[in-house]
Structure 1
């Protein structure tokens, strides 16, 4: 018998394989193309994050989207809404600042609404590390601000920021973030330093206004030609914004720092007392109770007027934002920090804690009064701690352009109160958007 060689069998097999292989490939190729076209493989998010993004500081994927209010949300949006509806409301008060390599949505040149004194980038601030932090709440996540979500939730609405320069600071932050998706048109301005302005986003018919009202109540500010103190009427709302309430759908109130100035207070047509008014023969009563009365008067006016017009309103009261002066205001190094405080390194205490408590207590009392009326939603925007933890976020000497171009001068004015734009104050508007989103989801669920 002959012996069959195994190598001879393998040779015949390989020859047959070579002949059949092209036909097999030709048969599989259309199937593979069909499969990939209709069922593409998922692209890992981690891979997307590694792709180059030359304009990341200006726009993110979400803000550059061309979606509109009529677009269908992706499947993840439904799961996010369901998650919001079922979860316990997030407490954004407690958390820590964590490094964020993505940076802000905008920079100092991408929107034209930043007040010169807060445009730290164009004024030459050399350290830009303060731009790369995000607030991480202790028990939940705070999503990145999405301007299109804001537009869709607030289409055809009028949003008003009412208060002092911190209200204006927050307003300009919001305008800059929204401008990455749709440009705001300035339609009205009035008053010294344009303290009363209004913008319109034609894409979604949204109006955004700012009302200068540093006490919320009727007040007469000190001047060079008049008394060297402010005058407040704590039981009378400031009608410069109060008279427009019927046209406002959402209001963000912000006061605090102006109550530190000398003032005489009136209630019921009589002098109530004063704060730091030597020589005027009035009783010194400080400012805490007066600030409380002012907030109470403002919230009472909002509830009474909006409960009768039937349109409802969303109300935010921003808590006190601490300053970070560590030296003399007119010397270099007044607020020298270049990174956030670590958890436990700085506590909310003293005046900061007292002013925060007043805002929270008065808003909680107003919530109880508003429960009997439909369409009134009130919330404290508690930013005191997260702001306290950011001593690096102020303009400092860069409130003026290139303050050290000719070397360090003997006197250099510093702003350790307001916030650079972009900067930590952008987080305030992130929180506002998340609260509005939750309100919207819960409202739909109750329908």
Structure 2
């Protein structure tokens, strides 16, 4: 058995007290050596926390950290993969879904279309985070402008945000509530929808008047553009209405028409007209909002053309019968779908060059054409009306193979929208 000696213990403690100061003095040069050759870097997280960026946020997840890439991800290249988590919301939990897109409540029997998500080949597309979106848009006004696809995307976004904060409808006007605004008290955010199926000035055909639309290609539609100074972010969406019969004007002169038998005008189609309408719209946005300072310039996003999936007559059973996405190689982007997308991408890129003189104006194409083309299963079809086959299959039944079920594939558009906003926020911080 060993014995314990107080004198030995005292000597041991005295030795430690003598060595401790010398150990401290030895560490100091090592620290300076480390800092000199391997300087510390300030983390992006700390930068974001102190940023005064108009879309500033504090990243709280690894998914949010992925937004810090300065090179945009190519979301057009990817595959639809199974996702058993399903959507964030359902047809009964959200009160803003247009009846024609509420496929669940209208009795659509197959639910498989709800369990897919888009997986880009070169990067990750995180699941939509409503809290992050609300933080980024705090004190801002987001406006969706365009046709019924703009409304479809808007209602998808509202439903996903409603899982975190309830939107309050504060304004409505126009036939079929084509002009509406919601307010999120929790973050002082306004989200609006403006009906403008051409973006430029137009007179829509009616039962009481001519059976064609009139488009004035050198004038933006002031029904929405007059409010542009109050927008922080604009999401534009057009395309399908350009397929309808129309007469085109530039000033007081008639340029020609599309599908106008009986009228003595030159048939010029609609591709070049779509291009002219986009030029006028983006040019107006640059002129009116490009001069913002301190990060207050309006951000503009153009959602590209969303293909339809009719496989037969619109009023017959089985017009869009698919129940699963196309896989790679099953379907190619071609014809009208490819041309509409090409025009939209080109005009956004041209507008970016024109806007380079303005530091705070951002433009982007939200390229959803291919990923949407791969989802023939995501449309209401006959379930645009409640329980269309309750009394058996009828010979004639109206189908919607253009718009998207909610929830459905269109929710992916807003996942990409969030990633664009996150990247813009990060770029704004780096530029400060």
TM-score (norm 1): 0.82
Structure 1 residues 336 and 86: alpha-carbon distance in aligned structure 2, compared to 1, 3 A threshold: closer
Q: Which residue of 2 aligns with 1:233?
A: 216
Determine helix, strand or coil for the equivalent of 1:171: helix
Q: Which residue of 2 aligns with 1:330?
A: 315
Determine helix, strand or coil for the equivalent of 1:420: coil
Q: Which residue of 2 aligns with 1:415?
A: 400
Distance (Å, rounded) in 1 between the aligned partners of 2:331 and 2:312: 17
Query: What's the offset of the Cα at 1:163?
Result: 0.4
Q: Which residue of 2 aligns with 1:359?
A: 344
Query: What's the offset of the Cα at 1:445?
Result: 2.1
1:223 paired to 2:180? no
Q: Which residue of 2 aligns with 1:125?
A: 108
Query: What's the offset of the Cα at 1:446?
Result: 2.2
Query: What's the offset of the Cα at 1:257?
Result: 0.3
Greater alpha carbon shift after TM alignment, 299-308 vs 163-172: 299-308
Q: Which residue of 2 aligns with 1:61?
A: none
Q: Note the alpha carbon deviations across 1:17-48, whole angstroms, 9 max, x for none.
A: xxxxxxxxxxxxxxxxxxxxxxxxxxxxxxxx
1:214 paired to 2:229? no
Specify which structure has the bigger relative contact order, considering alpha-carbon pairs within 8 angstroms and separated by 6 or more residues: 2
Distance (Å, rounded) in 1 between the aligned partners of 2:327 and 2:367: 19
Structure 1 residues 374 and 412: alpha-carbon distance in aligned structure 2, compared to 1, 3 A threshold: same
Q: Which residue of 1 aligns with 2:21?
A: none
Q: Note the alpha carbon deviations across 1:302-343, whole angstroms, 9 max, x for none.
A: 010002454301111011100000011111100000000010
1:179 paired to 2:162? yes
Please, which runs of 5 or more residues in structure 2 have no aligned partner?
Answer: 1-54
Determine helix, strand or coil for the equivalent of 1:371: helix
CA contact (8 A) 2:326 2:374 kept: yes
Determine helix, strand or coil for the equivalent of 2:290: helix
1:103 paired to 2:86? yes
Distance (Å, rounded) in 2 between the aligned partners of 1:382 and 1:417: 17
Q: Which residue of 2 aligns with 1:140?
A: 123
Q: Which residue of 2 aligns with 1:32?
A: none
Q: Which residue of 2 aligns with 1:277?
A: 260
Q: Which residue of 2 aligns with 1:170?
A: 153
Q: Which residue of 2 aligns with 1:253?
A: 236
Q: 1:150 aligns with which of 114, 133, 148?
A: 133
1:435 paired to 2:420? yes
TM-score (norm 2): 0.85
Distance (Å, rounded) in 2 between the aligned partners of 1:95 and 1:172: 25
Distance (Å, rounded) in 1 between the aligned partners of 2:58 and 2:208: 59
Q: Which residue of 1 aligns with 2:249?
A: 266
Distance (Å, rounded) in 1 between the aligned partners of 2:261 and 2:252: 22
Q: Note the alpha carbon deviations across 1:37-67, whole angstroms, 9 max, x for none.
A: xxxxxxxxxxxxxxxxxxxxxxxxxxxxxxx
CA contact (8 A) 2:80 2:117 kept: yes
Query: What's the offset of the Cα at 1:84?
Result: 3.5
How many residue pairs get aligned? The number is 376
Q: Note the alpha carbon deviations across 1:399-436, whole angstroms, 9 max, x for none.
A: 00000000001110000000000000000000000011
Distance (Å, rounded) in 1 between the aligned partners of 2:426 and 2:189: 20
Q: Note the alpha carbon deviations across 1:269-294, whole angstroms, 9 max, x for none.
A: 20000001111100000000000000
Distance (Å, rounded) in 1 between the aligned partners of 2:58 and 2:423: 19
Query: For the aligned residues, what is the CA RMSD?
Result: 1.5
CA contact (8 A) 2:248 2:257 kept: yes
Please, which runs of 5 or more residues in structure 1 have no aligned partner?
Answer: 1-68
1:404 paired to 2:384? no
Q: Which residue of 1 aligns with 2:5?
A: none
CA contact (8 A) 2:170 2:183 kept: yes
Q: 1:395 aligns with which of 380, 394, 412?
A: 380
Q: Which residue of 1 aligns with 2:52?
A: none
1:318 paired to 2:296? no
Distance (Å, rounded) in 2 between the aligned partners of 1:295 and 1:224: 28
Q: Which residue of 2 aligns with 1:348?
A: 333
Distance (Å, rounded) in 1 between the aligned partners of 2:424 and 2:284: 23
Q: Which residue of 1 aligns with 2:47?
A: none
CA contact (8 A) 2:126 2:415 kept: yes
Structure 1 residues 348 and 317: alpha-carbon distance in aligned structure 2, compared to 1, 3 A threshold: same
Distance (Å, rounded) in 2 between the aligned partners of 1:70 and 1:270: 47
Distance (Å, rounded) in 2 between the aligned partners of 1:339 and 1:360: 28
Query: What's the offset of the Cα at 1:73?
Result: 4.9
Q: Note the alpha carbon deviations across 1:211-256, whole angstroms, 9 max, x for none.
A: 0000000000000111010000001000001100000000000000
Query: What's the offset of the Cα at 1:72?
Result: 6.3
Determine helix, strand or coil for the equivalent of 2:357: coil
